[in-house]
Structure 1
């Protein structure tokens, strides 16, 4: 076993880890080692926005997790793709860029994450982005991550008009500091038609620094703790097992699944569970692996008349060639679009103070990404709850690093989640019956035109719903005794250990969570440098 030493050792080169490595290495007197389990992000399809669908289908850069049988979803196991590549899930996701509602972060502060209210985090959101849309005081103009609203398809524009006819206000900018509400075009983190990931925008410019070492193919196996202080990381690398010693700080940014797993394998977690696994307890921290949250979605999948859907393009060799040529020459067209083209946020229960559900319009139709596109023109949109009340947990399956953890999401465990998901389905039905969208629809594949009451919608949700790929909260920050982290992301009870990724969220934000991960990583880097 060989050893390498640095001031900071970071386990996990995902969206957060790339930011941390870049920011910490800005100090030329501080040495930084970044460990990433996956390969470099060299695959062409990582950088083509629409390539996310191809990557999900292949599983090439995926940890390939799945949940245990979910009681609320007919005991189905749900595939949980997580990025295993430099840039993490930010290198393979659908690029939807939504900060969240200001109230999301005020709730963080109210839940014990003091200093994380909207007034504290909003300047960080502005600083990390370059907004390529109309000028706005609420948007950043000089940040590393580029954000734009690409040109929409005919069907996406019809979806927004239909939402307006269903009573939702129009919204041109989800990220201007106002509550998220209404219907409008999606914003994507892309730059000149290519993915604007933290691996590309933060890490790549920093990789020439002599004080930064990036090690790919390095799977962290244990956090080393001596006399109550984290002193380093052991990892399996292509060259064998190595120890990476941290003079100042060990930072774990391995994500909402691998971070609690690594902590528990290191003897940091619930003592009773660790004893069951035959692992010596270094610190009894029962909150590790608890508080798991995720967004659940179900879909309306619709057959349409020809209107420029990806299904049509991919069935016509000439149109395929035109799409590819348009992307190569101008970095535009369908290949420059990510997971969706339009969003809608709405209140669906009496007395709601802000949006409770999200609809995401997608200009193609599949039953699953693995099966590929349906053989006819089609669209779909996801509907889901913004802030689920159900909570799950992550535990170890065994003390073997090669074994995947036990994931219990507990979808629809809370009765309020059932109620809100049914109301989201009703809103979706109302939208697709409005013009001009209704004029494009020729058939309904799922849930079927006869699904119109609560029981039918709930059957559809239980039989087909899945993850939106937003797991978080499993090593939360807070001021109570069960919160493993303090509000500066320091692990309570172990000196020299910081956790900085989506696992630190106390509560799930209302929409897609990647911008919140970026914001958290920027703040974590600031905390570490000030120390």
Structure 2
């Protein structure tokens, strides 16, 4: 009962795709997930996103960040089937074609944009139909927003008034421009990776789903990963893998599990009393994340989502509507509109991404703000700063030590500075200025020192950590371009941790693509 062809660790975006595709292909798969099923109305209703609880979110914190005036940062990560696709803003973005061509230039053969596009298309069920860039018969539903906030439409118009082009498909021929985002929803409900790949196989004899388990370590025998040991109900159990183990625990937990298993920087493992099975300094290194600044404005207009009597009544009615018909403003992803643009002259592609939110945000939405208004995120798409993930203890249930090392490289704050300035020019454009927005953090934006201090006092992640088990052609890389671990047999890694460079956009769709590719790599290897 506890021997399988493949054991998949982690039921997030990459892991769901791997497990679903391998089970579909006839392999006996065991999927191990720390959280629950994530099948509640709270998860499925898009507008409930700010109210999701600890059961579905690890709610990690970083170590104090010297680049952020010593503040600790917040790092939400999905817990349960679907992973972060069960708690995110559902924005469907693949990144820029330049990103993947750059991966190949770095030695990751087979990962150019032409190579990965068929996998994006295979995964996708786009409501607009199939074309050169999109698929319409995949398991991942991608939908247009039908009930955007008037302020989100005003934002797109405001950008156009600055001669910034409109773009109705950021995953099409060009990424640059501004518009409404497409979202991973089906018929007004969140469509997580688990709903796409795992739930349809729930009754399959090929897929054994085990939730509520804590993976303790990989089982390594004579240089080969042969299984996984996990704990549940205070007892340890081991599942064996005849063919392969796929680690898909995410950019924080994949390196953590490797290190707990004796794979990682030798000196660090010894500090924690862990026997070194493979000295691999790249495990937990090369952490990259999108540093993000949120500008915020207050308005008298009730068009925007807000904390007031009128706003509360409106949302209460919207909840009833959504429960009855799956329509209306509770389908909001909150990050309804946005765009991509180049603010630095030497950038090879857009270097800032914007997310427009028709509500005032403070501390990732964790702090209530009275009244109505709007917010505009600006994030640095290809940061130069590099951080680490390390063990904080030998306990698998403890959070890892996360250090993104934000704004360590001066190029990052220089780029973010220009992105924030463009945010404010857009907010001053006629379409938004008619709301008479009041800047909640007014300073002299032309003064670099003032702006830098404001950024360092308020910036944080926009939730896209990658790189901690990087892919590469070099011997130091954690995985090779077939996602097979270097230095140990029988192990693959399939999540955002394998990205050699952070993609220029949200990371959910790329993580699903990575899972799709890994399933093919594993199938090919087992057939050989």
Q: Which shifted more, 364-373 or 460-469?
A: 364-373
* More divergent stretch after superposition (266-275 vs 256-265): 266-275
Within-5 A mapping of 1:403-414 = 403-414=398-409
What's the CA shift for 1:169?
0.8
Q: How far apart, CA to CA, are the structure 2 residues paired with 1:483 and 1:63?
A: 27
| Other-structure match for 2:162 | 166
Mapped contact 1:12–1:36 kept (Cα < 8 A): yes
1:293-332 alignment, distance < 5 Å? 293-311=288-306, 315-332=310-327
Instruction: Could you list the structure 1 runs, at least 4 aligned residues long, displaced by more than 6 angstroms after superposition.
Output: none
Structure 1 partner of 2:48: 51
Q: 1:461 aligns with which of 439, 448, 455?
A: 455
Question: What SS does the corresponding residue of 1:508 show, helix, strand or coil?
Answer: coil
The change in CA–CA distance for 1:7 and 1:165 in structure 2 (over 3 A counts) is same
Deviation at residue 318 of structure 1 after TM alignment: 3.7
- Equivalent of residue 505 in structure 1, options 485, 499, 503: 499
CA distance in 1, matches of 2:134, 2:386: 33
Task: Point out where structure 2 has 5 or more consecutive residues left out of the alignment.
Answer: none
Q: Any conservation in 2 of the 1:150–1:188 contact (CA below 8 Å)? A: yes
Determine if the alignment matches structure 1 residue 146 to structure 2 residue 141. Answer: yes
Secondary structure, counterpart of 2:284 in structure 1 = coil
Return the match for 2:10 from 3, 9, 12: 12
Within 5 Å, which residues of 2 pair with 1:236-385?
Answer: 236-238=231-233, 240-311=235-306, 315-369=310-364, 371-385=366-380
Structure 2 residue 153 is the aligned partner of structure 1 residue 157: yes
Look up the SS of the partner of 1:377 in the other structure.
Answer: strand
**1:74-121 per-position Cα deviation (integer Å, ceiling 9, x unaligned):** 011111111111111111111011011101111111112110000000
Shift of 1:370: 5.5
2-structure distance, mates of 1:423, 1:337? 29
- Give the distance between the partners of 1:99 and 1:149, measured in 2 at CA: 16
Is 1:68 matched with 2:66?
no
**Which residue of the partner structure matches residue 182 of structure 1?**
177
Residue 496, structure 1, aligned to residue 494, structure 2: no
Secondary structure at 2:478 match in 1? coil
1:117 to 112, 115, 132: 112
Tell me the TM-score normalized by structure 1. 0.95
Confirm or deny: 8 A CA contact 1:36 1:218 kept in the other structure: yes
What secondary structure is seen at the aligned counterpart in 1 of 2:371? Answer: coil
Distance 1:459 1:332 in 2: 42
Measured in 1, the distance between the counterparts of 2:250 and 2:309 equals: 34
Distance 1:441 1:100 in 2: 34
Q: CA deviation at 1:510?
A: 0.4
Call closer, same or farther: CA 1:404–1:212 in 2, change over 3 Å. same
Q: Which residue of structure 1 lines up, in the alignment, with residue 35 of structure 2?
A: 38
Query: What does the per-residue CA deviation read over 1:180-221, in whole Å, with 9 as the maximum and x for residues that have no partner?
Result: 101111111100000111111110011111121000011111
- The correspondence for 1:525, drawn from 519, 524, 528, is 519
Q: Would you say the 8 A contact 1:153–1:308 is kept in 2?
A: yes
Q: How many residues align?
A: 524
Aligned match of 1:87: 82
- In the alignment, is the contact (CA less than 8 A) between 1:158 and 1:435 conserved in 2? no
Is 1:97 the counterpart of 2:92? The answer is yes
Is the Cα contact below 8 Å between 1:96 and 1:339 reproduced in 2? no
Work out whether residues 131 and 139 of structure 1, in 8 Å CA contact, stay in contact via their aligned partners in 2: yes
Structure 1: unaligned runs, 5 residues or longer:
none
* Aligned-pair CA distance for 1:339: 3.3
Q: Secondary structure at the match of 1:25?
A: helix
Contact 2:36–2:55 (8 Å) recurs in 1 = no
Question: TM-score normalized by structure 2?
Answer: 0.96
Alignment RMSD (CA, Å): 1.6
State the Cα deviation string for residues 444-486 of structure 1 (Å, max 9, x = none).
Answer: 11x3254442222211110011111111110011011221100
* Structure-1 residue corresponding to 2:214: 219
| CA distance in structure 1 between the partners assigned to 2:419 and 2:301 by the alignment | 27
Q: Is the 8 A contact 1:364 1:373 kept in 2?
A: no
